[in-house]
Amino acid sequence: MRSDFWGTALMAMACISACTGEPERQAEDSKQQVAQQQLTPSTMADNVTLLPQSVTFAGKPRQLWVYLPPGYATSSASYDVVYMHDGQNVFDAQTSYAGEWGVDETLNRLADEGYAVPLVVAIEHGGEARMQELSPWTNPEFGEAQGEAYLNFIINKVKPLIDGTYRTNPGAMSTTMMGSSMGGLMSHYALVARPDVFSKAAVFSPSFWFSEQAYHQSENAPLPETHRLLMTVGEKEGDKMVNGTQAMADLHLAQQHPQDRLSVRVVPGQSHNEAFWRAQVADALIWLNVVKQHEQ
């Protein structure tokens, strides 16, 4: 394969924490959530379930939120599944940092418009350990990586719990991962590292700057041609974030990944925040063929 993506990729590696505000975001997360819970009413839709049992990762119990498609209770159908990181931000303004994604409202609207929508599982992040959990590669500035263990936690503990509790389509072709920033880095990693488990990824504002190993990994493990990858970044996130995302797309294209299964988009006027990512959810899941038109 070509290696001409490396010039752009190495430029992206120069992007340190100031590029995304990620450490400051993490440091403020817990304080913001406490304040939000005191001042903001819950906006979680009725068809989102907070699992009564938590699951434990790295010695900490993690809450799981599960979105059940409208009509789930009266249907015998099985559903595709989307796994999302930063679960506090996915469904509820009360628990979110800097605003929620509104995935439940978005999918309910799409269901009303006649689409078949998936089941969505949102996994609580680990607070101060978030950046370590969402990267499989150690960055000296942020401490030892826990991302490989976190991915195995999803695959070996969370996914079996969900598949055993709900009517899901458990195969890789029905399983998607979606996330932003460090969650975007982890979603991309999961698709490349475990294509036997995940066949689709929605990657928003990915933090490829965190480690050049993201490019090495992708170079050494081409995606199966059946798999679908969507990457979206905001124009105002800076040249290094934009170039880093484009470099990853160029790498996959250099490996002859089908162009109709790889989407990269730079959105004019958009920055690194939840409002931007919220606006991308519907189009991303439709393009990935996770949200589908009902058969006539």
pTM of the model: 0.89
The residues near 75 (Cβ < 8 Å, ≥ 6 apart) are: none
Q: What's the mean pLDDT in 9-17?
A: 41
Assess if residue 234 is contained within a domain: yes
- Name the 3-class secondary structure at 171: coil
Q: 274-286 pLDDT, tens per residue?
A: 999 999 999 999 9
- Name the 3-class secondary structure at 168: strand
Task: Count the domains in the chain.
Answer: 1
Range of the domain at 217: 6-12+20-290
Backbone angles phi, psi at 130, to 5 degrees: -55, -50
How far, in Å, CA of 130 to CA of 93, rounded?
19
Assess if residue 66 is contained within a domain: yes
Assess if residue 296 is contained within a domain: no
Assess if residue 41 is contained within a domain: yes
Strands (E) located in 10-113: 48-50, 55-57, 60-62, 64-67, 81-84
Contact 244, 15 (CB under 8 A): yes
Q: Would the pLDDT of 7 be above 50?
A: no
Assess if residue 295 is contained within a domain: no
Q: What's the mean pLDDT in 27-43?
A: 62
Half-sphere exposure at residue 53, Cβ-oriented, CA atoms within 13 angstroms: 7
What is the pLDDT, as a whole number, of residue 295? 60
Assess if residue 254 is contained within a domain: yes
208: tokens are 């490829």
Q: Would the pLDDT of 162 be above 70?
A: yes
- Going by pLDDT thresholds of 50, 70 and 90, the confidence category of residue 26 is low
Assess if residue 282 is contained within a domain: yes
